[in-house]
Amino acid sequence: MSLELKNVEKKVGQDTHIHRTDLSFQKNSINILLGSTLAGKTTLMQIMAGLDKPTNGEIWFDNKNVTGMTVQKRNVSMVYQQFINYPNFTVLDNIASPLKITGMNSDEIKKKVGEVSELLKLSGMLNKKPHELSGGQQQRTALARALVKDSGLILLDEPLANLDFKLREELREELPRLFENRECIVVYATTEPSDALLIGGNTATLMQGKIIQYGKTIDVYNKPSNLISAKVFSDPPINVSEIKKTGDTFSLLNDSVKWKSSNVKIKDGKYKVGIRPHNITTYREGSNSVEIKGKVLISELSGSESLIHFRNFNSNWVSLSNGTHQMNVGQEAKLYMNVDEFMYFDQSNKLVNHV
Amino acid sequence: MSKITLNDLSHSYLDKQNSDVDWALRNINIEWQDGGAYALLGPSGCGKTTLLNIISGLLTPTKGKVFFDGKDITSQTPVERNIAQIFQFPVIYDTMTVYENLAFPLKNRGMTDGEINSRVKEIAKMLELTKTLNNRASGLTADGKQKISLGRGLARSNVNVIMFDEPLTVIDPHLKWVLRSKLKELHQKINRTMIYVTHDQTEALTFADQVVVMHEGQVVQTGTPVELFEKPKHTFVGHFIGSPGMNIIPCKLDNGNAAIDGVKVSVSSQIKKSNFSKTEIGIRPEFVSFSEEGIPVKVLKVSNTGRHKIIDTECKSGKIKVLSLTSKDVPSGSAFLSFDKKYTYAYGDSWIIE
Amino acid sequence: MNKTINQKAWLFVIPVFVLVAFNAVVPLMTVVNYAFQETFANNVFTWEGTRWFKQILRSERFHAALGRQFLFTGVILAIQIPLGIAIALTMPKKGIGVPVCLVLMSMPLLIPWNVVGAMWNIFALPEIGFLGHTLNDIGFDYNFTQQPGDAWFTTVLMDVWHWTSLVVLLSYAGLRSIQPAYYQAAEIDGASRWAVFRYIELPKMKKVLTIAILLRFMDSFMIYTEPFVLTGGGPGNATAFLSIDLVKMALGQFDLGPAAAMSLIYFFIVLLVCWVFYNLMMRNETQS
């Protein structure tokens, strides 16, 4: 079972909402669409579901061309951000609703509903109506309704976005478990890089209707194909600076920081370096670290981490250190960067070399 | 600018109260100093927005009093209290320009045009809105609109308190981060008392000097972010703060010693009392490590968050999460865990034993 | 979002299509037929081309009726819209008062239109009607069957009584959709009640008010039953609005040609106004 998008493009009037795309998802995979709002994630998911038709291109599901097929014919389930449930049905009826339409007999329905509600910890609430439940429970009901159908394709459009921080954490942890042992393809849209990293699977980074990179999540994170993919996949935002390489020495354009990196074999010239905030710390980390000095602008301590914003010459940097490191605003600080984790991009923003 | 004191505040939205659940807030006692950055942190329904609205005067409490600088202002309106409030979604006057929006509260208080002009320009510069002053407010993005809401609050120079009710809810995630840091920067610059309500611990812990953790209408613990992180007084605080939250594992107390699965666990403070119905050990994943001996566990799953690894393990008494550096190797199958004594606490009936 | 096309749905449309064809399209085409031809009797027709249209567009009678109609609609809108908004503002937002007010407001809308006309006819009768009698007692020389001014006054009053509720209900719905945070922010900003209305309530009711104005315009422009029962178009032609005049011409004088032409012109005026409104609404949508 596979889902393939061949040359899919979506135009509305003059605007291109989705640029020409080829994507291929295999069975039993969780695929994350990562990008900011308006990047095109929802449009793409609606095309995959059959709720929208692409201007050009084809959709193939299970080696069959389903491009013109209505969503009712395709075996698809969808979960939305806004906890969509039938307000007048109990939880039990909500979960059973897609099965009732198929004409399954009521014993079968009861059994399947029982299984899924057990999986989503809803067994004690089957007689309640959605408005009596908390946000997290309502979303679980929507998830249960999506899973009970045994669809080949399950689409989740930022399902955790409206939940409290802690509930989001809990449900996010449960998601991979819900989908294992199911022969289905899961597509999950989110704006949070941490969602992608914690769920795992494969990730596609999107920006303004273009798919920048697609691959295993941890690979896309560690080896972004270009600077845009790196930026999409960083929270807090990645620090970017212009640098030059002469001989075996790299330096920032203002020459305030110089380092050597013998593993990085690229030609002399001007480049851009991408440094994720957690690779700039108040302590030395890694086998190759270089010092950077700056004036502290903002200091945010959260107990587990310290975010120090500082200014070096004309640019602002962000550093993320583990633990509590108190720094006063205005103080001249010395921080250390882990050179081995630097990512180098050429002037066209392509990744040139990464150790 | 004011010192704020909340005295025995309780509030219920119902006319008659039969039990604890009928109260949205119960016996809140808090004292906040001038000029600090404070946060009210808790899950949905814990009463934080109710408390905020009582402080701002939009709601009158069923019981208790509110004092600004020692003066009882419980019956005063928001205008009389001189507060500013920024809501979950941007509240702007659609038909006005950005300039007119910022000038509105000043006009209503009878300032002259000249005074208004200079004040609005000052605020716009602080919030980076100068370029858009003559644009229609409805045309800005969500974060621009929130800045206008914030600007209207800051415009009045004699504001006692600025309150934020989950202000980043509708902001794009990558802009959320920018606006969050901007609020912190703003506080550092102008030093006005700010109270920030949220369910998001990152927002609360990075913004505030002091965080009030609330649960089911009551204050569970108040402290600096570091205090709350390093020594939670209640298992709820331990679980709620930190991502992932604190590990809470059932344990047995015996003569001042704690043990999990029969293995002795050293805790940071002496255990003097022992008559509890429920005893647990709390330890954050950051302070758990693999070792040669300790509590026997089975390694279930390893997740890589890019910054560190989260390892799910299971012992006979429950699940334990471990947080470690990405570079460190993780044993597979069976292993032993040891806890950093300094951050290991014993909890009796959910409250810390010390 | 484009819906994927399902051709089977067209089958459901056929019965409706047939009904509409019989009740609307066929009569409409008959009118068009009459508008371009002359008939004396026994279905004998002679082609007249645009003669009737020219006759109507030049006739003083038509201009007078059109003028009366626009004046009536103008007065109606000027009274009902502000009055409707004002009443909606005073209606309670919570508690038992809400359903009570909503029911009270709905009641005038439920009465059949000819009954409304008949009610007001009796109500305003100078000797025995409560309104007529009271006004005459107070000192006004009131007789709607004989004085054009009084006939207008009564017709307008009847329409206001009958239809303001619609504006009230629509405005109320619009007001209820405003989130409390806006009022709270205005309170904190120290805004006066008028400022709250001008800067928060009115802008937020824009969409709803556009619909209210459009509905009231169309309905009042096509008004027939109530004024016909109330005044019959009198005294004389004082309250002969477009539709009343049209029917007089068609059924009273049996001038089918000009009447058909007039009804087509009437139809196009209404279409034109709707089209203008629609574009205004769409332009507002894209702006916001």
- How do residues B324-354 score in pLDDT, each as one tens digit? 887 788 888 899 999 998 999 999 888 988 8
- How do residues A142-199 score in pLDDT, each as one tens digit? 989 988 888 889 999 999 988 888 888 888 888 888 888 788 899 999 998 989 998 8
Chains in contact with chain B (at least 3 beta-carbon pairs closer than 8 A) = A, C
- How do residues B170-189 score in pLDDT, each as one tens digit? 887 778 888 888 888 888 88
pLDDT the model gives residue C165: 95
* Cβ neighbours of B109 in C, within 8 Å: 190
* DSSP letter for each residue of B137-154: GGGS-HHHHHHHHHHHHH
Q: How far apart are CA A138 and CA A140, in angstroms?
A: 5
Provide the token pair at A147. 């899973």
Of B185, B228, B286, the CB nearest to A298: B185
Of B87, B108, B138, the CB nearest to C189: B108
- How do residues B54-94 score in pLDDT, each as one tens digit? 998 888 898 899 998 888 988 888 888 888 899 888 888 98
- How do residues B96-154 score in pLDDT, each as one tens digit? 899 999 999 888 888 888 989 998 998 888 888 888 888 888 888 888 898 898 888 88
Set out the domains of chain A in order of their start, with CATH numbers. 2-232 (3.40.50.300), 239-353 (2.40.50.140)
- DSSP-based three-state secondary structure for C193: helix
A51 with C1: Cβ contact below 8 A:
yes
Query: In chain A, count of helices (H) and strands (E)?
Result: 8, 21
* Cβ neighbours of C179 in B, within 8 Å: 89
**Where do runs of H (alpha helix) occur along A163-307?**
165-179, 193-199, 217-222, 227-232
pLDDT the model gives residue C260: 85
Q: How far apart are CA C145 and CA C130, in angstroms?
A: 15
**To the nearest whole percent, how much of chain A has pLDDT over 70?**
99
- Judge whether residue A355 has pLDDT over 50: no
CA angle B45, B50, B52 (to 5 degrees): 120
Range B4-235 classified under CATH 3.90.1150.10: no
Q: How far apart are CA A195 and CA C103, in angstroms?
A: 51
Q: How far apart are CA A209 and CA A10, in angstroms?
A: 9
* Cβ neighbours of B79 in C, within 8 Å: 187-188, 190
Chain C contacts in chain B segment 132-171 (CB below 8 A): 138, 149, 152-153
Query: C103 vs B270, which has greater pLDDT?
Result: C103
pLDDT the model gives residue B331: 85
Where is average pLDDT lowest: A109-123, B228-242, B257-271, C249-263?
C249-263
Q: How far apart are CA A23 and CA A153, in angstroms?
A: 15
Beta carbons of C84 and C167 less than 8 angstroms apart? yes
A53 with C2: Cβ contact below 8 A:
yes
> Which residues lie across from A153 on neighbouring strands?
A76, A185
Residue A354: pLDDT band (50, 70, 90) is low
CB atoms within 10 A of CB A320: 18
Enter the ipTM.
0.82
For residue C228, with 0-12 CB atoms within 10 Å meaning exposed, 13-18 middle and 19 or more buried, which class applies?
Answer: buried
* DSSP letter for each residue of B7-43: EEEEE-SSSS--SGGG-SEEEEEEEE-TT-EEEEE--
* Cβ neighbours of C190 in B, within 8 Å: 79, 105, 108-109
**Splitting chain C (288 residues) into consecutive groups of 10 residues, what average pLDDT does each group show?**
63 88 86 81 74 83 89 94 94 89 93 92 89 88 86 92 95 92 85 89 89 90 90 84 85 79 87 84 67
Q: Does C197 reach chain B within 8 Å, measured CB to CB? A: no
Q: Does A12 reach chain C within 8 Å, measured CB to CB? A: no
A53 with C1: Cβ contact below 8 A:
no
- How do residues A239-288 score in pLDDT, each as one tens digit? 999 998 888 888 888 888 888 887 778 888 889 999 999 999 998 888 88
For residue B325, with 0-12 CB atoms within 10 Å meaning exposed, 13-18 middle and 19 or more buried, which class applies?
Answer: exposed
Q: Report the gap between the CA of B233 and the closest CA in chain A (Å).
A: 15
- How do residues B15-65 score in pLDDT, each as one tens digit? 777 787 788 888 889 999 888 899 999 988 888 888 998 998 888 898 899
Chain C residue at shortest CA distance from B105:
C189
Domain positions in chain B are: 4-235, 247-352
pLDDT the model gives residue C278: 79
Query: A102 vs B297, which has greater pLDDT?
Result: B297
Chain C contacts in chain A segment 59-118 (CB below 8 A): 68-71
Mean pLDDT of chain C: 86
Q: Does B59 reach chain C within 8 Å, measured CB to CB? A: no
Mean pLDDT of chain B: 88
Residue B92 corresponds to which amino acid? Answer: I
Phi, psi of A94 (to 5 degrees): -60, -50
B205 with A303: Cβ contact below 8 A:
yes
pLDDT the model gives residue B98: 92
CA neighbor of A136 nearest in space, from B199, B332, B23, B205: B199
Give A5-62 as a 3 state SS string: EEEEEEEECCEEEEEEEEEEEECCEEEEEECCCCCCHHHHHHHHHCCCCCCEEEEEEC
* Cβ neighbours of C6 in A, within 8 Å: 70
Beta carbon pairs, B and C, within 8 Å: 50
pLDDT the model gives residue B1: 57
Phi, psi of B347 (to 5 degrees): -120, 130
The CATH number for B247-352, chosen from 3.90.1140.10, 2.40.50.140, 3.40.50.2300, 1.10.645.10, is 2.40.50.140
pLDDT the model gives residue A120: 86
Candidate ranges A301-305, B3-7, B186-190, C34-38; pick with highest mean pLDDT: B3-7
* Cβ neighbours of B287 in A, within 8 Å: none
B44 with A309: Cβ contact below 8 A:
no
Of A194, A237, A320, the CB nearest to B174: A237
pLDDT the model gives residue C5: 59
**Where do runs of H (alpha helix) occur along chain C?**
9-20, 26-35, 51-58, 60-90, 97-110, 113-124, 130-138, 148-176, 180-189, 193-196, 202-204, 206-221, 225-230, 242-247, 256-287
Q: How far apart are CA B264 and CA C173, in angstroms?
A: 66
C4 with A46: Cβ contact below 8 A:
no
- Judge whether residue B233 has pLDDT over 90: yes
A165 with B202: Cβ contact below 8 A:
yes
Residue A7 CA to its chain's centroid (Å): 23
Chain A contacts in chain C segment 3-22 (CB below 8 A): 4, 6
* Cβ neighbours of B88 in C, within 8 Å: 181
Set out the domains of chain C in order of their start, with CATH numbers. 64-244 (1.10.3720.10)
